[in-house]
Structure 1
Amino acid sequence: MNFQTSRPNVSKIQRTGRFFGEFQLSAQFSGPVSLFHDRRLPDPAAPAGYAALIDAYKLPVSFPRRLSAIGTKHRIIDRDGWRLYTPRHAPEASLEGHLTFALKYEGLDLAVLKRLFLAVDEHDIEELVRRRPTGIYARRVWFLYEWLLGRKLELPAADKVSYVDAVDTDIQFGGAIRNSTRHRVRNNLPGTPEFCPLVFRSLALDEFMAQDWKERARAAVSEVPKDLLVRTAAFLLLKDSKSSHIIEGERAPQDRIQRWGRAIGEAGRVPLDEQEFLRLQAIVIGDERFVKLGFRREGGFVGVHDRDTQQPVPDHVSARHQDIARLMAGLIAFDHVAENGLDPIIAAAVLAFGFIYIHPFQDGNGRIHRYLIHHVLARRGFNPAGVHFPVSAAILDRISAYKGVLESYSTRLLPCVQWRATPNHNVEVLNDTADFYRFFDATPHAEFLYECVRQTIEHDLPNEANFLRSFDAFRAEVETIVDMPERTFNSLFGFLRQNNGALSKRARESEFSELTANEVTHVEEMYRRCFGTGE
């Protein structure tokens, strides 16, 4: 632990006897500090739970987004990425004490728990369970140990006591329940040991879910006539495809935009598997002369190269290529498991952002990442039939927030990844990082995606339907005074839209010189009546 300079670092586990309960942390550990690993506390306090365990065992993991500590005041304080609990919340200064505190108040951080379980002697966990065989936290620790490590401890099956949830659903969102009779634990983890990011409950997510956006989407669609809905849906597909290319910094030709739009329109029709991912990448890339299709066979990163040395300067280091096959198998399994448990938008956020952090392909990751949102929403029946929300367009409108969400984890992950530059100016990862892509806190990602879905339902869908209604009305009125081919009409509409409902002098004297002054005035009035002067 990084104490103040006047206090030595003495946060070590001290073995004082055979029994687990006697593995005490030093007395100084429980003292208040003002600085912890370069993170300043709001008030002097003693780090507790995951913060204490990571520091004491020197676990090579990123700290949770919010850390816990025991303060001196008799009220809980939430500020600056810390939650300061009262003295009465203080855990016993031991492995058991801080582990119990973490499960009780901080929820599950599977990456930390797995590294902790690898660091401790398995006999310590066995003794913890033997000491409290019916304890809800002891049984959760026992279950999580065996689930994460795939090892069976030398313990008999639990007595017939009441089941307890693996995920405390008052703190985090759980998935479908599968009972573990050995531990008397309800396994409601939403994924598998190969891929299981988690999402914390928050005021924002609880409010979103209470508003039932699935039903709101159906209500919005029901107000649109079927023939108009077909055209609206087609436009929204193209809008999403175009926006997805723009996010990647590409001005793609129309045929590529349409090809990817057709792919989005088919999202959710088949379950995900490796071949489906490879098919999607082939559609995205099109021309494979300069891109190696398939999963990466070398390192990968997101960032830039130094202008002078061409050395990589990563903002995010992707999963090791040796780990991609297992990580993607875990991600695919999560998609299947989550179908019966998680809220669709939360599941979509976990799947899509998990994919982009893994970054399995040399190119095409961004568009497939956003495609996966469509896949989950369609697969889970969230979208009204025939409609795919233009989520990429909503993301484009919030591009700064989108980048912030991506960085909410990647910036915390980067210091945990040891890498070196390769001769071809790529990166080679030197440590085991697979768990960092299996387990992460996807709360900011879920909140962001809910905001995007809300925009598509409240604004994009009705706005596009209203636009098409106005467009049809305007065209019908124009046809009452003059017949013109569709291309000419579209040109007329474009001029009016560009010039706030007025036909420019150049347009009146060239392309539409055949219109009389009265006809021009009439057309302009019709446009303003249909669209308003601000269109």
Structure 2
Amino acid sequence: MGYEYVRSSLDLPIFEMRRPAVVKPVTRIMSSAEALGVPSAMAPADGDLVAHLLFALKHEGVNLQVLAGASKHLAGTDLAAAFAATPNGQYVRMLCSAWEHFTGNQVVAQPVVTAGYVDMFDDARYYTGGTDRDSRWRVNFNGLGTWDYCVTVERTPAIKDALDFDVLGATREFVTSLNRELLGRTLTWAYLHETQDSYAIEKEAPSEDKARTFIRLLRQAHQPRSLDEQYLVELQASIVSNPYNQAVQYRTEQNWLSDGGRGSLGVTFVPPRPDDLPELMDAWSRFANDTAKHLDPLMAASIASFGFVYLHPFMDGNGRLSRFLFHKVLCQSGQLPDGMLLPVSVAMKRHEAQYLSVLQDFSRPARALVNARAAGEGDFEFTFKCDDTIFRFWDATRCVEFGLSMAREALEVELRNETNFIVHFDAVRKQIDDQYDLRGSTLAALVSIALNNEGAISNSKRKRYADEVAPEIFDAIEGKVREVLTDDALDQSDRATNDTDRDGAPR
């Protein structure tokens, strides 16, 4: 029943419901991870699409894919009858408002509504945005976007916990806790490894020139610049070295992704048609430039980044650009110090399987809505069963969960670990350098080896440097590294103890 009944009855070319409403032997509506169980007595009648949509709006939330697709099949007279039966009902007003926006027609010439305004999205269930008032039906469209492009983000425990942690506030504290030299060395590492890992996710290793270009791009993320076609084309051309793959506009050809499998079964994702792309990219740009300003910056960055890669507006470089855009949208919020970088791609590379899973949440159902036919070696002809609705209205909940968790890990693991490494490295190098006469590059290499191996220098490494390092120096380096690591572990334990209340509860 509800949305899934409407989708299947009309054979709408949209995503299937993750948790469909189904009749179950229950006495009240029961929610589970797989479905929404509904008593048979509450089920709308077969064939009554309006009743099913009203049920869905009340019990399943807002699904703009279904509402947009179903509107083409609903008669205005049926909606007018439903409105006449309950003229102040909030769900019938929401349905009428949506139908008018999606069809451009009117249900009735002048609806008489005496009830107050109602929000389209329940802010107890969803994160919401600005308000676009429909005075005819007294409905506030308060989604994350507009009627042209809108994502949904549910208020899950994972997102709440991440927002409560306040990654950006913790990042600002982190910056102020470091002296200028230590911060500079940490950020030098972050820019380099963010670049290397963003390429590594694409199974590439950047040349020195490519890495330098991408680092320069990341350093420009704080500079104000609207995300429009001209700028995005400049960005794409700057990270794609092959002149034949450098864009001058959004793509005019169909692209696709493949896992290397034979024939059409190897095609894993087909982005929107080139003819649909200009309007979709304009709608995405309005989100990234305008709506994003009113959201939590990390939430906005996550939505903009994933939304861009789903549209895949260029023939090459989309993945790297999408991860750069995470930084761009985040930096444009002004909530990070100038020059600061959260190396989210480093964290994503560490959790690459989870990253792929989040991408596949969209790409797999989207792929099912496109037929692919081999048309020569390595080429295909695509027949879209869907229009551009699935690219305009999508569920970004998992994308936001993932983006927030990667930002936190970028700070709490990647940056803090690198800072600790630098502090430990300096302490060991100084003491060994004071005691022994050793070439600087050799000393630096051995200290790094020991720090990365919990204080041990392997026999193979000892043999490699045996001609220039005495055995007692190897032992001294190992001993000093273990000492600083032990001291650091004790300091962390003391800090954790001091941050605990007398009753044992963490502050």
Q: TM-score, normalised by structure 2?
A: 0.87
Cα separation, 2, equivalents of 1:129 and 1:209 = 40
Find the counterpart in structure 1 of residue 256 from structure 2.
Answer: 301
- Listed as ranges, the matches of 1:256-335 within 5 Å are 256-269=210-223, 270-289=225-244, 294-304=249-259, 306-307=261-262, 313-335=266-288
Residue 501 of structure 1, CA deviation:
3.9
1:175–1:341 contact (8 Å) kept in structure 2: yes
Cα separation, 2, equivalents of 1:254 and 1:326 = 37
2:117 equivalent to 1:163:
yes
Residue 54 of structure 1, CA deviation:
1.4
Find the counterpart in structure 2 of residue 222 from structure 1.
Answer: 176
1:417–1:433 contact (8 Å) kept in structure 2: no
1:50–1:99 contact (8 Å) kept in structure 2: yes
1:501–1:533 contact (8 Å) kept in structure 2: no
**Deviating more after overlay: 160-169 vs 276-285:** 160-169
Residue 481 of structure 1, CA deviation:
2.7
Find the counterpart in structure 1 of residue 291 from structure 2.
Answer: 338
- Listed as ranges, the matches of 1:88-107 within 5 Å are 89-91=42-44, 94-107=48-61
Residue 363 of structure 1, CA deviation:
0.9
Residues 277/492 of structure 1: CA separation in 2 closer, same or farther (3 Å cut): same
Cα separation, 2, equivalents of 1:292 and 1:345 = 28
**Deviating more after overlay: 406-415 vs 337-346:** 337-346
Find the counterpart in structure 1 of residue 360 from structure 2.
Answer: 407
Give the letter aligned to residue 355 of structure 2: Y
**Deviating more after overlay: 156-165 vs 430-439:** 156-165
Find the counterpart in structure 2 of residue 383 from structure 1.
Answer: 336
In the alignment, which of 55, 58, 63 is matched to residue 16 of structure 2? Answer: 63
Find the counterpart in structure 2 of residue 141 from structure 1.
Answer: 95
Find the counterpart in structure 1 of residue 157 from structure 2.
Answer: 203
Cα separation, 1, equivalents of 2:412 and 2:23 = 44
Residue 242 of structure 1, CA deviation:
0.7
**Deviating more after overlay: 67-76 vs 509-518:** 509-518
1:419–1:429 contact (8 Å) kept in structure 2: yes
1:50–1:67 contact (8 Å) kept in structure 2: yes
2:391 equivalent to 1:437:
yes
Find the counterpart in structure 1 of residue 415 from structure 2.
Answer: 461
Cα separation, 2, equivalents of 1:415 and 1:503 = 52
Cα separation, 2, equivalents of 1:421 and 1:486 = 59
1:300–1:426 contact (8 Å) kept in structure 2: no
Residue 115 of structure 1, CA deviation:
0.7
Find the counterpart in structure 2 of residue 426 from structure 1.
Answer: 380
Residue 395 of structure 1, CA deviation:
1.0
Find the counterpart in structure 1 of residue 405 from structure 2.
Answer: 451
Find the counterpart in structure 1 of residue 202 from structure 2.
Answer: 248
Identity, % of aligned pairs?
29
Q: Secondary structure at the residue paired with 2:287?
A: helix
**Deviating more after overlay: 505-514 vs 352-361:** 505-514
Post-superposition CA distance 1:42-82 (Å, at most 9, x none): xxxxxx21011112223222212111123221254444621
Residue 92 of structure 1, CA deviation:
5.4
Q: Secondary structure at the residue paired with 1:440?
A: strand
Cα separation, 2, equivalents of 1:486 and 1:150 = 73
Find the counterpart in structure 2 of residue 16 from structure 1.
Answer: none
**Deviating more after overlay: 270-279 vs 211-220:** 211-220
Post-superposition CA distance 1:511-533 (Å, at most 9, x none): 56455554444333223323469
In the alignment, which of 135, 151, 161 is matched to residue 181 of structure 1? Answer: 135
Residue 87 of structure 1, CA deviation:
4.6
Post-superposition CA distance 1:130-154 (Å, at most 9, x none): 4433221122112222333444554
2:345 equivalent to 1:392:
yes
Give the letter aligned to residue 129 of structure 2: G
**Deviating more after overlay: 327-336 vs 431-440:** 431-440
Q: TM-score, normalised by structure 1?
A: 0.82
Cα separation, 1, equivalents of 2:140 and 2:379 = 48
Q: Secondary structure at the residue paired with 2:435?
A: coil
Structure with the larger helix share: 2
How many residues in Structure 1 have an aligned counterpart in Structure 2? Answer: 486
Find the counterpart in structure 2 of residue 363 from structure 1.
Answer: 316
Residue 245 of structure 1, CA deviation:
0.6
Find the counterpart in structure 2 of residue 372 from structure 1.
Answer: 325
**Deviating more after overlay: 418-427 vs 165-174:** 418-427
Give the letter aligned to residue 303 of structure 1: S
2:450 equivalent to 1:490:
no
Q: Secondary structure at the residue paired with 2:368?
A: helix
Cα separation, 2, equivalents of 1:463 and 1:499 = 14
**Deviating more after overlay: 140-149 vs 233-242:** 140-149
Cα separation, 2, equivalents of 1:132 and 1:510 = 84
Give the letter aligned to residue 146 of structure 1: E
